[in-house]
Amino acid sequence: EVQLVESGGDLVQPGGSLRLSCAASGFTFSEYAMNWVRQAPGKGLEWVSTSGSGAGYAYYADSVKGRFTISRDNSKNTLYLQMNSLRAEDTAVYYCSKDTRGIPDYWGQGTLVTVSS
Amino acid sequence: EIVLTQSPATLSLSPGERATLSCRASQSVSSYLAWYQQKSGQAPRLLIYDASNRATGIPARFSGSGSGTDFTLTISSLEPEDFAVYYCQQRSNWPRGTFGQGTKLEIK
């Protein structure tokens, strides 16, 4: 059974940093691209970033480019999102998802990031 | 950026009725369109991928159709657990997959 468990969400001040983690199990983690997708309170879904299955492939939405860094540790079956220079508009539930041929087919339960002073 | 527009924003129906949800793309996405269901406080769940293929474990009352720019999600006979928000998502320009703004399916 595929399981994705996010952690690391917290209340942080504007300009601060946070690192999210997503622990994966139930599939061969190294063979799949992985995504971060976020959802602001009461809003829709927004793609944030994708880590390709191969080394060095990382993609970002324009809204987070230069501030967020996606990475993965295939030995630990874990996906990360390092978020720097956080803004109020980054407040959201952040989901990680497994990517099968461009389709986010399994999702974690999400972790809440709140950016506020 | 490919923009997906879903309609209606809210759909009010009764259990047992048929639901038809629409998703229109700003440019062709071929058949690279998926549908998700999201219940309050839960993660999205994949229902349909590549326009018309049901994901694992999805009941047969859910079906998808369309190609190019116009897509439809149909729920043939609504069950109480089907009332939720539905999103479409395109992967035509992977990884920059975009989502529609959602359709809320509520009980009439």
| DSSP secondary structure code for residue B55 in this structure | P
- What is the mean pLDDT of the segment spanning B86-93? 95
- What is the mean pLDDT of the segment spanning B47-51? 98
The Cα–Cα gap between B63 and B47 comes to 9
- Tell whether the model's pLDDT for residue B29 goes beyond 90: yes
How close A107 comes to chain B (CA, Å)? Answer: 6
Q: Do A47 and B44 touch (CB under 8 A)?
A: no
The Cα–Cα gap between B8 and B28 comes to 21
pLDDT-above-90 percentage for chain B: 94
Instruction: Indicate the length of chain B as a whole number.
Output: 108
Pick the closest to residue B35 from B17, B19, B53 (CA basis).
B53
- Tell whether the model's pLDDT for residue A54 goes beyond 80: no
Q: What are phi and psi of A89, to 5 degrees?
A: -75, -5
Say which residues have a Cβ less than 8 Å from residue A67's Cβ, sequence separation at least 6. Answer: A83, A84, A85, A86
Mean pLDDT computed over every residue of chain B:
97
**How much is the pLDDT for B36?**
98
- Tell whether the model's pLDDT for residue A55 goes beyond 90: no
* B95 band by pLDDT with thresholds 50, 70 and 90: confident
Q: Do B99 and A46 touch (CB under 8 A)?
A: yes
- What is the mean pLDDT of the segment spanning A44-73? 93
**How much is the pLDDT for B22?**
98
* B94 band by pLDDT with thresholds 50, 70 and 90: confident
Q: Which run of H or E residues covers position A3?
A: strand A3-7
Interface test mutation site (partner A, options B36, B48, B94, max chain A beta carbons within 10 A) = B94
Q: Does A113 touch chain B (CB under 8 A)?
A: no
Give the pLDDT confidence of A60-109 residue by residue, as tens digits: 999 999 999 999 999 999 999 999 999 999 999 999 999 998 899 999 99
How close B16 comes to chain A (CA, Å)? Answer: 27
Q: Do B46 and A95 touch (CB under 8 A)?
A: no
Q: What are phi and psi of A31, to 5 degrees?
A: -90, -5
